[in-house]
Structures are given as structure tokens and as C-alpha cells.
Amino acid sequence: MARSQRQNGLERHVAQLLQCRRCPRMKSTPVSGGAIASDVMIIGQAPGPREPVLQRPFAHTAGKTLFRWFEEFCRMDEAAVRSKIYFAAVCRCFPGKNSGGTDRVPAPDEIRNCSSWMDDEIASGASPWHKIAPGKELLGRALKLIARHPAVAALCEGRMHAKTGECRRRSQTAWRVLALTAPLI
């Protein structure tokens, strides 16, 4: 798909996404990083309480960490990352706080309600190659897949687990993979 077709499709998609009100328990309207046609997609779990106000994903605590990693490993500041990478999330609205005062994990029905947005982004080619999932649960799953890739095996320098084929230092390796993607961004 040509980049301009991807871009036009993403612009329509993001406009529709921002109108979504499928989940009555969510505490905000959807948050989007905009229609960025990119070969890299970062997938979060859900926005925090500040992201809807600031109107961008990864706008506070998690974002500070994420953008520090990009600066360290890719020599890209936040503005460069936001202009070159498509941001998505399992759920696009802030789910609210749980009884313990921490961010509530989206419920299965909310994840299902929101899954069509991700399905459409993947089908439309929002990011045809690289998916990076920085959330704790998502990162764990993504790292298992990343660690099995032959290119990553070379980075592990003999630290592959004999039975699982996973790198023993998965997070370190995943961020090395992130550094390798920098020339593609």
C-alpha cells in the first residue's frame, strides 16, 4: 500500500477512533498519537489519567521512561519519536483507578470493544513491520516473540535458554532490538 494511501486511511481511522464511546466504565475519551504512517508501532495497555488531558499517549510517567530509552538507544528525542512512530494501545481510553488507587487494568469486555481499532490499524498497514509493546504484561509477551527472532539470537551472545529458545536477558535484548530499528524509523 502506498504511503499516501496509508496516511489517508489512518487519518480517517483516527478521526473515527476519537469519536468512540463503546465502553461506559472508561473515564475518558480516546487518546491518539495521530495518524503517523510508520514502520514501527508502539502498543501500550491504556492511557493513564494525564494522557486524556494532555491529548497524547505516553504523556507522563511511562512516557518519560519510554522517551528516555529512545534517547539513550536511538538518539531520538520525544518530538522525533512522536513524528515517526505510530502509537496504539490495547484500550484507548483511561480505565480509571482501582480500589487500591492504582490504574485499573482494562476488563476483558473493554479489551474486546477496543480490539477492532487495533485490528483495523494492522489491516490498514499502520505499521507493517515492527510492533513494540512497552507495558509490563505486553512487553513480556512481545519479548518472548522478539527473543526467538534469528537476528536477536545473535545479540544474545550465547545467552539463549536451551529449552525455550528465549534470551536470558530479554529486556536488555529487546531494547537492543529497538536500537536496531532506529535506522528504519
Q: Report, at the CATH architecture level, how domain 3-135 is classified.
A: 3-Layer(aba) Sandwich (3.40)
For 51-75, write each residue's pLDDT tens digit.
Answer: 999 999 999 888 888 888 878 777 7
CA distance 112 to 135: 18
Residues of the chain under the 50 pLDDT cut: 129, 141-143, 145-185
The residue extents of the domains of the chain are 3-135
pLDDT computed for residue 62 by the predictor: 82
Cell numbers at 82, concatenated? 512522536
pLDDT computed for residue 165 by the predictor: 46
pLDDT computed for residue 160 by the predictor: 44
